Structure 1
């Protein structure tokens, strides 16, 4: 990490929900306040970088990604190689931090894979790993999506079921569960005590079960609209959490949404955006086939095939995860909703950082935050990616 003072000039930066014309200063892997440099230290920048009018935004934060570039986090003989390949590949798409996601699998897979996916800082070799997102096996069999039925489980022994299934929670950041399962209250509370975020999803829950889960500590909804009861006017299900008046005061429920042009209709994106803009978090839910050609691949224990740029469970018409990259999802979301550039970028930066409670370090360009940022053109194509003040992709 360089202790050189770098000044980015001729740039527009995203700060406090606005894109403003201002120089951008970094040193020692952090974003710094130039006033202190001018008035206290009275020094010049070691390096001046002309951005030619480009936008500087925080690096994208991905909370749900199952794999990519031919690797699947739930089905790896060499977990390390897969993690390293995906972490490196994500840099070209503006992702500076991510939560590798492990889907419903047999116990042995969790016990083998989870100890190998450890939190680590990002650099030129790949994006920061913020911790694992485990999606399953504690989900509703009726909303299994691409999760193999034979491995879906209940909380028969409360939190013991969780510890027994996963083996270790040391590097776990998020767990997706169906809140209607018996003993879910005990499980949610056990997760919260361990600083693990609880997300509700793959669920048949009605609205009151969802509200109960939020009162117990759940703060996130896994891929809104997908693998849950459809919105119904007499019981809106988990979708109703976006406008519920029964939640603890001041509590924001965040929700992941896949804007890959396939999983969520543009009108549904607009409904979610208008109903609860502060909670909207873009996720790719990308699978091993992200970055690969048409043909057959794997997700967890299932064989999948890519047809017409969509991923299906092999031999069926069931969608199973996206093959879109995060910068593509941001572009599609902006086109679909007509939202501002600033807001579109915040759905993949500020909002996921708020879910994890790390906005002091990630997801913003505030002073003293980590110098994890991307340089974009006006179409929001990624030109450069920086982590800890070093350029890791150009």
Structure 2
């Protein structure tokens, strides 16, 4: 079956042009300028960007991955797909090891179905001093046996592990990640600059939600933030929701780090897309007030209520990125992190037809995954 989308503003890594594209058997086969050679689905001047890739997301639409429920996992996937996320990791939070392994086993089946791109363990090997919305009593130092068990529980689908490099045996854990083909991410850490660099030298390649739950940047204590921002081997995650980071801090990162090393994430939890109220985040209780999620009792920020379409919108309107730059930080760079940029992440001939259609106000009107409409746009 062939689909032609015409009369559209198409955002590619090279720029934006008015034209058309053709999809056959779930892949982009042609990208053309101007008038389409044959009648197709006219988008009446709307914009096509690549499907969003979220490498750090816990939940949304009233459901979440840490619950360990397949029904909740499917609900979360469907919610974020409607908001343009066509590829995602399922992020877990610190919990008892048995629960983590059981959750990973369930999520592995959804990965095998093609619904998820992998599993992300955020914890339990993180710093008590920077634990944020993780239960301190469940934190632990890395153990080679435990680590192997957690990775094994994902049946080949564990893609990322966030840990604090200053913990005992943490560098061994980073090496284990690299050897297992798992991305080692530095996060929830009180590491010094030197400790962070030691982890990067061992193969750590992502900084989990830069600035958040990290030793702060000091002028004589550069810490993990400086290590991540200044090392070309590291991609930094940014939560662009107007809560986790001041927009000018994001501008600072964007001025210092190329978009090829910046991945916007949601870090969304169950309350994304839901009204204010009380929600779970793994074993923790979270209060959402005015759209801001915090641990019950006014504690630490506990994930976000962000969706990737909003992060994209903010990239344009708050950080003055161009459309191709915004597509890079929400699609192409995270696809590269996952080793999937040959398949997804940009509107390029031969890649999967994972597409998001945006109207003039950059609101989603349509979402396509592998050539099939999740939400079909109207002109």
Fold shared per TM-score above 0.5: yes
User: Which residue is equivalent to 1:149?
Assistant: 136
Runs of 4 or more off by more than 6 Å in structure 1? none
Tell me the alpha carbon deviations over residues 71-90 of structure 1, each in whole angstroms, 9 at most, x when there is no partner: 221124xx110111111111
Residues 211, 225 of structure 2: 8 Å contact kept: yes
Which shows bigger deviation, 14-23 or 128-137?
14-23
User: Which residue is equivalent to 1:252?
Assistant: 233
Provide TM-score, normalisation by structure 1: 0.89
**Equivalent residue for 2:99, pick from 92, 96, 109:** 109
Residues 64, 100 of structure 1: 8 Å contact kept: yes
- Give the CA deviation at 1:383: 0.9
CA 1:271–1:282: 2 relative to 1, 3 Å = same
Residues 269, 333 of structure 1: 8 Å contact kept: no
1:174 aligns with 2:174: no
Residues 94, 134 of structure 2: 8 Å contact kept: yes
Calculate the aligned-residue CA RMSD, in Å: 1.7
Which shows bigger deviation, 277-286 or 233-242?
233-242
- Give the CA deviation at 1:336: 2.3
User: Which residue is equivalent to 1:40?
Assistant: none
Residues 4, 41 of structure 2: 8 Å contact kept: yes
Please give the residue correspondences for 1:216-365 in structure 2 after superposition, counting only pairs within 5 Å.
216-244=202-230, 247=231, 251-278=232-259, 279-365=261-347
Residues 176, 222 of structure 1: 8 Å contact kept: yes
**Equivalent residue for 2:60, pick from 57, 68, 73:** 68
**Equivalent residue for 2:358, pick from 356, 376, 380:** 376
- Give the CA deviation at 1:329: 1.5
C-alpha separation in 2, matches of 1:143 and 1:34: 47
Which shows bigger deviation, 204-213 or 218-227?
204-213
Residues 223, 257 of structure 1: 8 Å contact kept: yes
User: Which residue is equivalent to 1:99?
Assistant: 89
**Equivalent residue for 2:147, pick from 154, 159, 162:** 162
- Give the CA deviation at 1:5: 1.9
User: Which residue is equivalent to 2:50?
Assistant: 58
Provide TM-score, normalisation by structure 2: 0.93
**Equivalent residue for 2:11, pick from 11, 14, 28:** 14
Structure 2 residue ranges without an equivalent (≥5): none
C-alpha separation in 2, matches of 1:177 and 1:224: 13
Q: Secondary structure at the match of 2:224?
A: helix
CA 1:226–1:316: 2 relative to 1, 3 Å = same
Tell me the alpha carbon deviations over residues 113-155 of structure 1, each in whole angstroms, 9 at most, x when there is no partner: 1100021455xxxxx3000111000001100000001110102
User: Which residue is equivalent to 1:391?
Assistant: 373
